[in-house]
Amino acid sequence: QEIETNRNAIKEIYEKIDANEQAARTYINDLQKLVEEGYEARKKDYDKYIPGHINRIIRRANRAGDELRNGGEQVAKAEAINAYEDWLDMNQEMEAKKREFEFWHQETLKEVLALFEVIKQNREEGYHMHGDKIIEVDGKEEEVYVDARIELDYWTNGKFSELEKEVASELERLEIPDEISIDEIKEIREKVDTLKKQEEELIVNAEERIIASQMRAELGDIAVEALENEGFELVRSGYDKKDQRRGYIVNLRNRGGADVVVSFLPREESNENILDVQIRNEVNYSDAETVAIVNSIVTILQEEGIDVGEVACEQTHLDEFYDFDKIFSKDGGLPEKEIKRKGGHITNQG
């Protein structure tokens, strides 16, 4: 409607310019006023969507006035016509770019806000993990049914909170439309798909970590069964630092004075577990006897379908693996330097 009104005004100006010089002078002045007042009224939109365009029109309107004052009526008329046409074109272009901006902004804001709310809800309330899940742990595919809420930030070691902060940052940018360009909005829109994929991957990772944690406890039970067949009795068991993301430890003894610690340690960035066996005894076992104890554990694990992999024996034990007050304390735990040396994954308490 505004553009059509301007077109009607231009038609009248053309007629007046043709009529006489005085009318031309009046309407060229009106042209300058129209451009200046129109620009001031929507300065924010012009500067955002078509920055600098108004300067060309102002120069043409000024030239029309200069030519008219110098007697160049025909040149003044041409400049005035061009200035008015440019003014219309500029308004049309600005409106088109504004509509495009608003479309991209609204759609992207809707997408990012929806993603943020889902992530926030999943972090605060927990993700509902349910149904049959199949994962590969220690070379064996496990199908388990679970129905529980996952504390995603806990099981992803804080990565879910980091993702939420990243999405919140993009949301803050979109909530100030005056300070963002359409190209930046399009970049955020493309990023949304990546952020969604990251959320899905983190949820899957959390599910796999929970199942792998449960598997470590089950492997501990298998190790206990194997050693009970060799005359050992269970003394204690539990998660390192009482943290289910970390290793699972069982401690057994026999009447002969042998003290065994079997640890199932999560491997870095995978669902595999590291089997570590420490043997301390009052009556020194021979190498063959020590290997037999380890092999009894390995054999029953293999019978359960667990891929044990290569077994390496070292002739020393570490006393830190027997400090159970420290191991099962939230402020203690297994010796992290040794766990890393064996390729294990360290999860900080949090």
CA gap 221, 248 in Å, rounded: 10
- The candidate with the shortest Cα–Cα distance to 322, out of 220, 253, 219, is 253
The pLDDT tens digits along the chain (350 residues) read 555 555 566 556 555 555 556 666 666 777 777 777 777 778 888 888 888 777 777 777 777 777 777 777 777 777 777 777 887 888 888 889 999 999 999 999 999 999 999 999 999 888 877 666 655 555 556 666 666 788 999 999 899 999 999 999 999 999 999 889 999 999 999 999 999 999 999 998 888 888 888 888 988 998 898 888 888 899 999 999 999 988 999 999 988 778 888 888 887 666 677 888 888 776 666 777 777 777 877 787 778 776 766 666 665 667 787 888 888 888 888 776 766 666 555 444 33
For residue 324, the tally of other CB atoms under 10 A from its CB is: 15
Residue 9: per-residue pLDDT: 60
What is the token pair recorded at 185?
A: 């909005």
Q: Give me the residues paired with residue 281 across strands.
A: 258
- Residue 235, classed as helix, strand or coil, is strand
Q: At what angle do helices 73-125 and 21-41 cross, to 10 degrees?
A: 10
* Rg from Cα positions in the chain: 38
- The candidate with the shortest Cα–Cα distance to 279, out of 237, 347, 232, is 232
Measured at the alpha carbon of residue 16, what is the angle toward residues 14 and 18, in degrees to the nearest 5? 70
- Residue 263, classed as helix, strand or coil, is strand
Name, in order, each residue with C-beta under 8 angstroms of 349's C-beta and a sequence gap of 6 or more. 241, 243, 330
What is the token pair recorded at 281?
A: 């005894």
Residue 1: per-residue pLDDT: 54
Residue 103: per-residue pLDDT: 96
